Each structure stands twice: as structure tokens, then as C-alpha cells.
Amino acid sequence: MTLIKSISGIRGTIGGNTGDNLTPVDAVKFAAAYGSWIKKQTNKTKIKVVIGRDARLSGEMIQNLVSSTLIGLGIDIIDLDLSTTPTVEIAVPMEKADGGIILTASHNPKQWNALKLLNAKGEFLSGADGAEILKIAEGEDFDFSDVDELGVVTKNDSYIDIHIDEVLNLPLVDAEKIKAAGFKVVVDGVNSTGGIAIPKLLKELGVEVVELYCNPTGHFPHNPEPLKEHLGDISKMVVNEKAHLGIVVDPDVDRLAFMCEDGEMFGEEYTLVACADYVLGKNPGNTVSNLSSSRALRDVTKKHGGKYEASAVGEVNVVELMKKNNAVIGGEGNGGIIYPELHYGRDALVGVALFLTHLAELGISAKKLRDSYPSYFMSKKKIELTPGLDVDLILKKMEDKYKNENLTTIDGVKIDFAENWVHLRKSNTEPIIRIYTEAKSQEEAHGLADRIIGEIKTIAGI
């Protein structure tokens, strides 16, 4: 059982001992720390926070605990109930709120939940702000309100519809072209809030929708991370239904993967590549993704005359570099699209709309579109961490071993070889070391990953 505190929020498994897991006591403590931090940021007499959650089984319990804690601090709540991460991000500035919390463990299995924390812009907190909240939590110096100053809850279940309207109003989203294309699409909503939001959006775009696991019960029918090995059911359904496309999202709808008409993955790394290709073709400019993302985005950006740069892993780091470089689109290779024209957050809804407009405009199949991009293959492996394993020392030894190669050390160790690369880093969201590689063939990518894993195990003595 695990409790992880990072810039990605407070994430842990439900049940177990306080301080080791995301227990009710821990949920209250970190909600109180966040609320106390917000109160320090403003002179306003009345503070407002937007809260939404995915459909996972512990969501209602955690939401009740978090909401009640903030109310006890005198903070008003805008309760979106079942929602998506990007929807909450959009709602915060629209409501002129002082912050937001999304209760979701994103792609983690059902035993996990988390508090994803937003600032007044509806963006993830900086590392410094996150560190301050953790400090407040450890000190447990909370000043709760008197009975006459308690916060109040206002329920608002309209924001998914508002979010969809905002997407439809984007200049580069062409609903008429999409409708005219006559797309038939299978949607796997992993029985969470994507099963609400994505079919609604598609129907507004005039798409015929076949729903798979779109009932938001929180009973995930498969591992909720949208990877090929978890998606056998939608692969078969896309072929059986003679659909043009399959769409898969994670439980909080900030990651997006497509499936081609033959039931093969479009490639989660290529979600961003395709959307960027479309956007850059209309609005040339710069792009950003993280160090663990495909070189294909770099290639497509260069094709359109723009400049590509890579940030440390983590949405807040991507956003920071996007703002610095005036990127017109960016994101993460895990299927996370960040389109600043709408907001600075990973958003599967805007990704769907941009991708379908691109596909409709080109008039080709998803498979032909995928084949038009530079062909890279990735391997994503991991090593489970055990107590006493010194990850920093291991990474330093790997850095020393490859000191004559092209190294980047802003986030773990990335080694850029001429024809491939490997990125080693400690995860922000799980107790693992991630080993990502990319090469010109799948066999080469897996072989490089296995070689590096062997070297790490030798260094660590495991």
C-alpha cells in the first residue's frame, strides 16, 4: 500500500494505515493543507474552490471528506460531481474560483485515488507551491472557521456540456466537416467519466457512436491505462462494427488513444503528433513535449518550420516550457494534448475534435494517416522499487557510465544515441523506475530497454 506526495498531487491506495496510504485522515489533512495554502494566497473574504471527480469507487467518499474539510475552513465549494480533469480545469477560471481539486488517480487501478490540485488559473501547481502545501500538511497548523463562517456547497452539473461547447467554438474545430465525413466510432470509457463526456462530444460532432464500457460505475473492466495490452475488447469491436476509429480514454479523460479501422493501435505517442500536424498546418509555431515522448513530434514540428523543445516529465513542466516558448500546441506522449487556445491542461476532448477535423479534411483512413508519420517504436518498462534502493545513486552511476553520450539530466537521465534513446526516471505517481526507449523498430526498442534494465540491476545488486 502506498502514499505518494509529489507535484502531481497526493496519490495513494485506499485503506490501510494512516500516513502509508490515502486514508480518510490523510485526505482530510492534505485538503486542509491545500485550503490553508489558498487562504494565504488571497486577501479575499470569501474563497471558492471547484471540485470534481472521476467515477472510481472511492470517489464519493474522498469527495465528501475533502469538501467537508474545505467547508470547515470557510471555503465555498462549486461541486461538479462526476466530471473530468480538463473540465474542472476549465471551470476554475470560468467560476473565478481560487483553485480546484480533481479527485482521481488518473490511469492507476481502482484501489488508488488522489487529490490533483489546481491554482486560480485552473493549472497544476508549481513545484514550489506543492512543496509549501506539503510543509503545511506536516505541521498540521490549520485554522478552522467558526460556525457562522463555514463554507457552502453549490452543485453545478453543467460543466461537461460547457466544456463541449468551448471545444466546438474553437476556430480549428470544424463540426460540419466531421459530420459530412460520416464517421462511425467505438468509444471505450473504462466505466468512468469519459463514458459521459466523449460520446456527448461525438454526438454533437455528428458522429455515429458505439459505446463500450461507458457506464460510469467505477468498476474498471480492464486496467485503465490506455495501452495496447489492455484494449483487446475495443480492438475486436472496431473491426466487428466496421468502425472508422476507436477512441480510448483513461478514467479522468486527460489521456487519449486512438485505434485504427483494422483494430491496431494508432499509437498513444502519435495522438499528439497527429493533432500537432493539423494545428501547425493551420497555425505554424513551436511545440513542446516531455523527455519521454517520441521524436516524431520534433520531426513534424520541423516539417512545419517550428521549433521543438523537451521538458521534464509532468504536466506542470510541459506547460511552463510551452508558455516560455510560445508553443501553439504541446503535451505528453502518453496521449495528453495541451492546446493553449482552450486551456493549459491535457484534454482528451479537444484532442478528439482536432484529430477528427484533421482526418475529415484529409479524407483518408486512420491507418493511412498513421503511416504518413515518421515511424518510431517505443518500449515502456519499469522496475519495482524496494525499500532501501537508492534510486538517485543508481541514476548517477548510469549517468557516469554514459557520460560520453548526449545526456540530459533535468529529469532522471536521458541518453540520446544517434538512432535511439533511453530515458530513466523515478515515477511521480508510482513506486517504480520507468525505463522508456525509442528506436526504429520494436525489437530494437525492447532490446535497448532490456539491456539498460540489466545494467541497472547489476548496479543495484538486484
Active site residues per annotation:
106
Distance of CA 70 to the CA centre of its chain: 25
Query: How do strand 9-13 and strand 413-416 relate by DSSP bridges?
Result: unpaired
Are the C-beta atoms of 183 and 207 separated by less than 8 Å?
yes
Coil vs helix vs strand at 125 = coil
> Looking up cell 461525438, which residue turns up?
202
Coil vs helix vs strand at 141 = coil
What torsion, rounded to 10 degrees, do the Cα atoms 368, 370, 375, 381 define? -140
Cell representation of residue 385: 522499487
Q: What share of the chain is helix, strand, coil (3-state, %, to 5)?
A: 40, 25, 35
Beta bridge partners of 436: 380, 423
**Other Cβ atoms within 10 Å of 157 Cβ, number:** 12
Torsion sign over Cα 104, 329, 248, 414 = negative
**Other Cβ atoms within 10 Å of 295 Cβ, number:** 20
Q: Which amino acid, residue 153?
A: V
